[in-house]
Structure 1
Amino acid sequence: MPLRPMIGVTLDAEPAGGWSKLPWYALRQNYFAAVIAAGGLPVALPHHPDLASEYLSRLDGLLVTGGAFDVDPALWGGGPPHPKVTLKPGRTDFELAAVRAALSRDMPVLGICGGQQLLAVAFGGTLIQHIPDEVAGALAHEQPNPRTEPGHEVAVAPDTLLAAIVGATRLAVNSAHHQAVATPGDGAVVNALAPDGVVEGLEHPGYRFALGVQWHPEYAVDPRDPAIFDAFVRAAAA
């Protein structure tokens, strides 16, 4: 029986207090469950930028997860942080180093929510710091209903990797973000848009698998969401 491809999964981090008196890592179990269901072997990656290259030398794919924080505007020339921006420098430093190491190896990368935004920054793209301030008539991208339900639909761009994966022109998605991709970066392509024009996905055809989605397919809100993990793990196994 062939070995499952090893998928590095980035963690969230919190300071001391709350759940633990010491600094701690955490991540929802459904990220790991989605990778396992797709045939991958997920391993958690602590935040050590100096070890990013060594981690990547032992992995077959990289999953960059989301979280309740933002990419530092200083990394993409966005000026001072908006008052609504929350930073986690240690996490971002590691994730950006890991993404760059993965791309340099042409290793499959899947970015989810903030991971998609970080992927855009790694491609040289830019972000919208706070959607309500920059997008007229924007949807409630911080959806008021539970994350286990759809918040809106996205239109999938034809002739993209995402379209080939999901085999559909529209998807129902959950929505949990106040930032978004403004420009996808050099050579990258927008592959999904919300009805208000907000970028919901991107990919880079210059790599064998470099895909980002703004929603959370690990919840499988749309029945085609698991296909995203299937394609990612398949690419990692190739």
Structure 2
Amino acid sequence: MKSHFPLIGVTLDSELPATEDRAGYSRFPWYAIRQNYMDMIAACGGLPVALGHDASQAAAMVARLDGLVVTGGAFDVPPDLYGASDQHASVQTKPRRTVAETDLIHAAMARGIPILGICGGMQLLAVMMGGWLVQHIPDTYPAALAHEQLNPRDEAGHAVNVVAGTHLARLVGQDRLAVNSSHHQAVGDAGRAVICATAPDGIVEAIELPGHPFCIGVQWHPEFGISAGDRLLFEGLIDAARQIRT
């Protein structure tokens, strides 16, 4: 009998070697992830496994997974991927990571396994769906909320309004969620995905792909478990992944 604990791949961040002028875990390139990503998946009944950035292995990795979580990080999707000719001064990219995550998402979609994109992971999903990004919220929307919140990330930064009738709404069972906020970019257009949550200022906060068993991206970081809806989102991912195992 197959395990009831589905295997969930979690993408890693990559960091430069530590130097005399730059602190870090190692003087060699290193991968990084916050413990709460893995802890939340485990608490919701999944078996989390970390995924490196070798794009040539993406299909082989996904072939063994029951679900995929594309995490966030302090970097941006390269603007050329969504047809932008200019790059804002604030934009920082990690091309090797983005190439690997793009291939992982392609493979996960081809297999029809559940996908959860978080923060930058949501933005990459939108771009892959044919959408584009606002490169720096304060420049484009000067009256917007503070989406890079000043208070700790394990506290709420603002609320989001969940669109009725969406997959996200069915999962969380609420029309409004308190969320944290740690991003300077935003989805300007979701392409063939649909918007399923927005901030009070109109900034896109969640997207989903109709027709896919579970393909949701959220702009906040639900691994912190700020509201009951955060855990319900992960439980929904694990439940969908469990169906792959049966």
TM-score tier by shorter-chain length is over 0.9
Instruction: Give 1:79 deviation, angstroms.
Output: 1.9
**Whole-Å Cα distance in 1 between the matches of residues 112 and 140 of structure 2?**
34
In 1, distance between residues paired with 2:191 and 2:238? 24
SS in 2 for 1:201: strand
Match of 2:183 among 160, 174, 177: 177
2:236 paired with 1:237: no
Name the structure 1 match of 2:29: 23
**Counterpart among 118, 141, 144 of residue 150 in structure 2:** 144
Q: Distance in 2 between matches of 1:135 and 1:4?
A: 43
Give the SS at the match of 1:171.
Answer: strand
- Which of these residues, 98, 106, 120, is aligned with residue 100 of structure 1? 106
4+ runs deviating over 3 angstroms: none
Paired residue type of 2:219: Q
Residue 22 of structure 1, CA deviation: 0.3
* Equivalent residue in structure 2 for 1:53, among 54, 59, 62: 59
- Quote the residue 1:124 is aligned against: 130
**Secondary structure at the residue paired with 1:79?**
coil
Structure 1: state its 5+ residue gaps.
none
**What percent identity do the matched residue pairs reach?**
55
Q: Is it true that 1:43 corresponds to 2:49 in the alignment?
A: yes
Which residue is 1:215 aligned to? 220
CA distance in 2, matches of 1:207, 1:79: 31
Secondary structure of the residue aligned to 1:225 is helix
Compute the RMSD of aligned alpha carbons: 0.9
State the aligned residue count.
237
Determine the C-alpha separation between the residues in 2 that align with 1:208 and 1:223. 22
Q: CA deviation at 1:136?
A: 3.6
Q: Distance in 1 between matches of 2:15 and 2:85?
A: 25
Q: Paired residue for 1:70?
A: 76
Q: Distance in 2 between matches of 1:136 and 1:158?
A: 28
So what's the TM-score if we normalise by structure 2?
0.94
Amino acid at match of 1:215: W
For structure 2, the residue ranges without an aligned partner over 5 or more in a row are 19-23
Q: Distance in 2 between matches of 1:131 and 1:23?
A: 31
CA–CA distance in structure 2, aligned partners of residues 25 and 124 of structure 1: 29
The amino acid of 2:199's aligned partner reads: A
Q: Secondary structure at the match of 1:208?
A: coil
Inter-partner Cα distance in structure 2 for 1:167 and 1:175? 21
* Deviation string, structure 1 residues 102-153 (Cα, Å, up to 9, x no partner): 1111111000000000111111111110001111411100000110110000
In 2, the alpha carbon distance for the partners of 1:43 and 1:3 equals 16
